[in-house]
Amino acid sequence: MKKINKEIALKVGDQAPDFSVPSTNGPIVLSQLVENGPVVLALYPKDFTPG
């Protein structure tokens, strides 16, 4: 099991750093989504991956 670096881990209410991810319709940019209203960010690092 990997250890989480608690110094860089986000906590509830923290502002997420801006980032983009590729999609079939072009990149999805967090800062552009936030302009339209609140965003819920959910990550599942082990879904569909080995380990």
- The single residue listed with the structure tokens 């990550």 is 43
**Confidence (pLDDT) at 12:** 84
Distance CA 12, CA 4 (A): 16
What's the pLDDT at 6? Answer: 64
User: Would the pTM count as exceeding 0.75?
Assistant: no
- What pLDDT sits at residue 1? 55
pLDDT per residue as tens digits for the range 6-51? 667 778 888 878 889 899 999 999 889 889 898 887 777 666 666 5
In which residue are the tokens 């980032």 written?
Answer: 19
DSSP per-residue string spanning 11-50:
-TTPPPPP-EE--TTS-EEHHHHHHTS-------TTTTS-
